[in-house]
Amino acid sequence: MAVQIKNTLSFIESLPKFFSSLDLKNTAFFIDENVHKHHGHLFPKELVTIIPSGEEQKSFSSVERLLNQLLELGLDRSGELIGVGGGVVTDLTGFVASIYLRGIKFRFLPTTLLAMCDAAIGGKNGINFSGFKNMVGVINQPAGIIYYPAFLESLPKREFNSGMAEVIKHAIINGGELNDFISSNTQADIISNAHLIKELCLMASRVKVDVVEKDEKESGRRKVLNLGHTVGHAIESTHSFLTHGESVAIGMVIAARIAVLKNLASEELVEKIISHCHAHHLPTEIGLKPKNLIEKIAKDKKRKKSSVDFIMPYEIGDVRIVPLELLELEAHLNTIANE
Amino acid sequence: MAVQIKNTLSFIESLPKFFSSLDLKNTAFFIDENVHKHHGHLFPKELVTIIPSGEEQKSFSSVERLLNQLLELGLDRSGELIGVGGGVVTDLTGFVASIYLRGIKFRFLPTTLLAMCDAAIGGKNGINFSGFKNMVGVINQPAGIIYYPAFLESLPKREFNSGMAEVIKHAIINGGELNDFISSNTQADIISNAHLIKELCLMASRVKVDVVEKDEKESGRRKVLNLGHTVGHAIESTHSFLTHGESVAIGMVIAARIAVLKNLASEELVEKIISHCHAHHLPTEIGLKPKNLIEKIAKDKKRKKSSVDFIMPYEIGDVRIVPLELLELEAHLNTIANE
């Protein structure tokens, strides 16, 4: 039973026009603090709850605060919650809406490139718990994902780049038109052209939609979306100055290097990925401490196993799930660190 | 898209035989404190978490404690959680399993008549929040509901009676063989006969299964399962010495009396319901303070509306959803209180 996501994606050109389509007596907005600074005045003030920025918001104490907000606004079972922001806001919005009164309708208005092309799509939501990322949550698709590209105009440049890391990931997974698009358009071209932004969002989100529609519960193929994330997450948690996208960029290059070490890919693949990353001002290497990284990876989600499902790029458009012993992974990381 | 529940119900005759069918390296049991006193020695000790008795366990702090237990046991995404107890345990088990690692498999071993015939069935789970019952949770069906009638042997008599209130509710909703069964078998007959117990569980659970399979999300017909509960919940929360079933019994009689006052049912219906309740040692009236009850009902789930969907019995086997103004409900309660 495949889930249908494609037809829940839509573009809007005006926020007030969108608001006029809502039942504002039974609606609440959760809005990221920074988005609120730039765009908050456009929203119906009394319906807005501001979510402070930062991953530490993904906690039970935030969830309880937000549930109380919905109670105070008096939302009933036919109410709607709209999350406006990046991945933290969409994760919290999806989870809170899924458990309030045993589930009310929710939609997302992603405001970062990363959320538009990745985080808002796929129905995974939740919070961190007991030191583990996304340990608690549900899989529940939003009723709609609404694109308002004007949000990107106020997005800091470094956040835009960070989002491009996930776009590049989708290009590596799928190859095809998305890979052609980011190969032939510079970032300067894209940012200055609303039409290209729209095209980019459409193509990048379509890759994720296609994968999720076929494997919502991540029993198999959906895992390829973790390309660059096994090592990337470990780097992110040991190098707090890096953004998520920057860590993933480094993680993808490392994944390709490991594929080369295992004779599964050519050096050319590594260079293509590095070239994509550099075109979008993303780092592609960093001083590695393989022992620390492996400890992080082994601890991730209290893994009992001695191996991981490693996402291995064979070439652009051919990415596979390959079981890899942690000992072998550590050996490869040591080789890469000493190159 | 109707949900399938019928084929998830099964009977077992031995606990050890059931345990031998499980992957005990990846299983956890949540067990009610009182059940544990009587049957705890049969369970794999290191996999057991005891849930203290009482509705106050349905809280976020319990949920966090239980999530930590699953982490400590190292359950992964292919693990299984089994809830052993009454409604509080099944509510907590279903909710915790639904949000741990974004959802793992769970099954119930209901130990009370109420849980066997009602609470364990239907996939509603959750906790109380901010003073409201079942404010937070999800709808998610267990992978199995396992009946082990021997649990009823250690169930206090008053708890058995309380469960019979929900059985009587199902008999009123559905009429038919269940109504014939409880009309023609005394409680003494039933309790002393394992075959009759099994038949009772099967018939009573089937009524709920049929309703839920057609309307899992309670957008319509499922509401009839609230027969006796609108007034019953209010009575329960203002008369702490009553069990849930006792309050529901009084609530059902009041619902029938209101149907008579509105010329929708005959006095004979009230007498039939009273007769069922008395046969199972359930109270059928109590001193009413209509103003307090209406305040409770209006406050329930922060209701903004001035009316309720009242579940009205027209006759045995014919129960309907009738919108009722709270003012009219209060007037009827006053009439009944002064009779």
ipTM: 0.93
Mean pLDDT over the full length of chain A: 94
pLDDT in tens, A210-224: 999 999 998 889 999
For residue A228, pLDDT beyond 80: yes
Distances (CA, A) of A289 to A253, A336, B56: 16, 11, 48
> Residue B5 carries which side chain, given as an amino acid letter?
I
For residue A299, pLDDT beyond 90: no
The 8-class DSSP code of residue B102 comes to T
Reported as a pLDDT band with limits 50, 70 and 90, residue A163 is very high
pLDDT in tens, B45-67: 999 999 999 999 999 999 999 99
pLDDT in tens, A229-268: 999 999 998 999 999 999 999 999 999 999 999 999 999 9
pLDDT in tens, B251-267: 999 999 999 999 999 99
> Residue A219 carries which side chain, given as an amino acid letter?
S
> Residue A11 carries which side chain, given as an amino acid letter?
F
| C-alpha closest to that of B49 among B26, B65, B25 | B65
For residue A1, pLDDT beyond 70: no
For residue B302, pLDDT beyond 60: no
Mean pLDDT over the full length of chain B: 94
How confident is the model at residue B192, as a pLDDT? 87
How confident is the model at residue A302, as a pLDDT? 55
Q: Are A228 and A283 in contact (CB under 8 A)?
A: no
The string of DSSP codes covering B184-216 is HS-HHHHHT-HHHHHHHHHHHHHHHHHHHHH-T
More confidently predicted of B18 and B302: B18
Mean pLDDT of B100-117: 97
Q: Indicate the helix (H) or strand (E) that contains A82.
A: strand A80-85
Neighbours of B248 (CB within 10 A): 30
For residue A117, pLDDT beyond 60: yes
Q: Indicate the helix (H) or strand (E) that contains B85.
A: strand B80-85
The residues of A whose Cβ lies within 8 A of any Cβ of B are 60, 64, 67-68, 71, 74, 76, 98-103, 124, 126, 129-130, 132, 134-139, 217, 301-304
Report how far residue B296's alpha carbon sits from residue A130's, in angstroms, rounded to the nearest whole number: 37
> Residue B323 carries which side chain, given as an amino acid letter?
P
Q: Are B120 and B110 in contact (CB under 8 A)?
A: yes
Reported as a pLDDT band with limits 50, 70 and 90, residue B299 is confident
| C-alpha closest to that of A234 among A120, A333, A100, A130 | A333
Query: Above pLDDT 90, what percent of chain B?
Result: 89
What is the dihedral angle through the alpha carbons of A19, A22, A28, A31, rounded to the nearest 10 degrees?
A: -30
What pTM was estimated for this model as a whole?
A: 0.94
pLDDT in tens, A17-47: 999 999 999 999 999 999 999 999 999 999 9
The residues of B whose Cβ lies within 8 A of any Cβ of A are 60, 64, 67-68, 71, 74, 76, 98-103, 124, 126, 129-130, 132, 134-139, 217, 301-304
What's the alpha-carbon Rg for chain B, to the nearest Å? 20
Provide, as residue numbers in chain B, all residues whose Cβ is less than 8 Å from the Cβ of A138: 98-99, 102-103, 138
How confident is the model at residue A219, as a pLDDT? 87
For residue A303, pLDDT beyond 60: no
Reported as a pLDDT band with limits 50, 70 and 90, residue A301 is low
Mean pLDDT of B316-334: 96
Q: Are B138 and A102 an interchain contact pair (Cβ–Cβ within 8 Å)?
A: yes
| C-alpha closest to that of A258 among A332, A337, A339 | A332
Report how far residue A213's alpha carbon sits from residue B312's, in angstroms, rounded to the nearest whole number: 43
